[in-house]
Chain A
């Protein structure tokens, strides 16, 4: 049978957001990947320039001028896209892995559930940003540790959701059958329960990206987590803050990129929601 073609308006309504979001993210990604070609390999790292050597936008070939340490703003924006796109994806992947494992264990083993659920409840009473801040302080500075800290601050929601799904799936007859046929717990969990959650997980992955980016730049703004020599928009805002009343562009330019990228991520998430359908997941 021939597949029915969608009307343009309906098509836009369904896929428009995903295309806008995806487009923005791809553009940023390209900017990050091709940064060496656009601005050259040198980001002139950390030289303690006196303030007089700071360049205003347009001066000496610096399109957006330099920051207060004499580093090219445009180059930092381009290189900063790497972190801004890469970290949210990495964090979401780790979050889902931790969350799924904890959720599966909680849903399937009531005894473990007693303890872990109480712990998660307690963690849930602490703001996410504070947990991330705590873990960043515990693990110290490095990209890997930063990713783990962020993931640890946000896995609880995923774990709870998976736990709920597992609890309801366990009642289904086909799981019962599986048990009667002698399948091990692991097999049931990974071959039957997990695939049933995959839609929800995919949705979770894409809707969470924007939030990760926001907490990432927040932490960077507090100069916690990432190394300060890695170009990073949040850090740029934080550096520019000391001069921003006189030179608002120091804050405005990186902020604009943060907002646009977050918008891209959230459009992507919304788009995924309308494509996958939010019928049974919240």
Chain B
């Protein structure tokens, strides 16, 4: 197991490095000069231009900038945001909490609602209950997350006044439960698509497991239906579900950009959008780096979980 984990972490490093490089050069491909965007093209002379470029790490050609960036990125010096007026690393630290909360809660929602729905569908195959759960998940797959976000804000925030309509309540100031409470609507807005996905995959995978020979053997030997279904069959269908969770996380991180904007949450997704639209390279780069890092770390955890469920799995 230890060997597996180390191997998995080592394979993640090149991916992270390549993603970093790709993001860096893609950022530079965005048209527009950030220095002009910062100080305005009219009032800039050559000397100021150079000074500003020097200060923000924009001197030299792209490749020199890249080497410069690489030298610093592992020490936590992620550059200086053009518009926020402080080091990017500090911006990230502030904004990490809402995004982590959002991703964690939406994944929890996906698992807690999705797996039971899928199990119900699989154990009652082709019954009205199965059709009802299938249709519900298809409908949720068809609702874009911003529509869901606005709908939830309107119904539960504005009409019923059960939940706050926007903003995140920081843990430090308001305590853990208030923070969770303020994140419920956003988490559902991001998570419902994942619920539907998880439910569908659980259903298909469990149906195929239920048809296996060892399930019939277990039943024939006199094991109760409940035990066969919920212990033996469920455990063996969870592997597929874990792989869905990895793509669900990607969807969550992508969706967080939109949902954070809808709920005016100042998280990493919103920061990425801001950085992209203002040509604030360091800000957008850092936001993407954090997202990629988060994805890779959680993927490693999921792979370890997969190995725990199914020890036959090998890395190739």
Contact = CB atoms under 8 A, between A and B. Distances in A.
A183 interface: no
B26 interface: yes
A248 B30 CA distance: 36
Nearest to B249: A127
A18 interface: no
Given A122-B22, A138-B31, A128 B144 contact: no
A218 B146 contact: yes
A133 B147 contact: no
Interface string A12-36: 0000000000000000000000000
Nearest to B139: A263
Interface string A127-138: 111100111011
A193 interface: no
Given A134-B276, A210-B142, A259-B143, A129 B257 contact: yes
Contacts of B31: 138, 140
Contacts of B22: 119, 122-123, 126
B253 A130 contact: yes
Given A126-B292, A133-B257, A222 B144 contact: no
A122 B147 contact: no
A166 interface: no
Contacts of A147: none
A17 to B, nearest CB: 10
Interface string A235-260: 00110010011001001000100110
Nearest to B294: A125
Nearest to B272: A130
Main secondary structure of the interface of B (DSSP, over half): helix
A118 interface: yes
A167 interface: no
Contact of B144 (A118, A137, A214): A214
Given A244-B154, A255-B150, A262-B142, A126 B257 contact: no
Contacts of B258: 129, 218, 221-222
Nearest to A153: B254
B142 A266 contact: yes
Contacts of B169: none
A102 interface: no
B257 A222 contact: yes
Interface residues of B, number: 45
A23 to B, nearest CB: 16
B145 A126 contact: no
A129 B256 CA distance: 10
A102 to B, nearest CB: 15
A221 B146 contact: yes
B296 interface: yes
A217 interface: yes
B261 A222 contact: yes
Interface stretch (B10-18, B35-43, B219-227): B10-18
A121 interface: yes
A211 B140 CA distance: 13
B18 A248 contact: no
Interface in A171-186: none
A127 B253 contact: yes
Interface string B240-276: 0000000000110111011001100000000011001
B234 interface: no
A136 B263 CA distance: 23
A138 B27 CA distance: 8
A245 B139 CA distance: 24
Contact of A134 (B26, B139, B141, B150): B26
B150 A126 contact: no
Interface of B: 14-16, 18-19, 21-23, 26-27, 29-31, 138-139, 141-147, 150-151, 154, 158, 250-251, 253-255, 257-258, 261-262, 272-273, 276-277, 288, 291-292, 295-296, 299
15 contacts: A122-B18, A122-B19, A125-B292, A126-B19, A127-B291, A129-B254, A130-B253, A130-B272, A133-B257, A134-B23, A134-B26, A137-B30, A251-B147, A255-B144, A258-B147
Given A222-B261, A244-B150, A255-B151, 12 more contacts: A125-B296, A127-B251, A128-B250, A128-B254, A129-B251, A129-B255, A130-B288, A137-B30, A137-B276, A138-B26, A237-B146, A251-B154
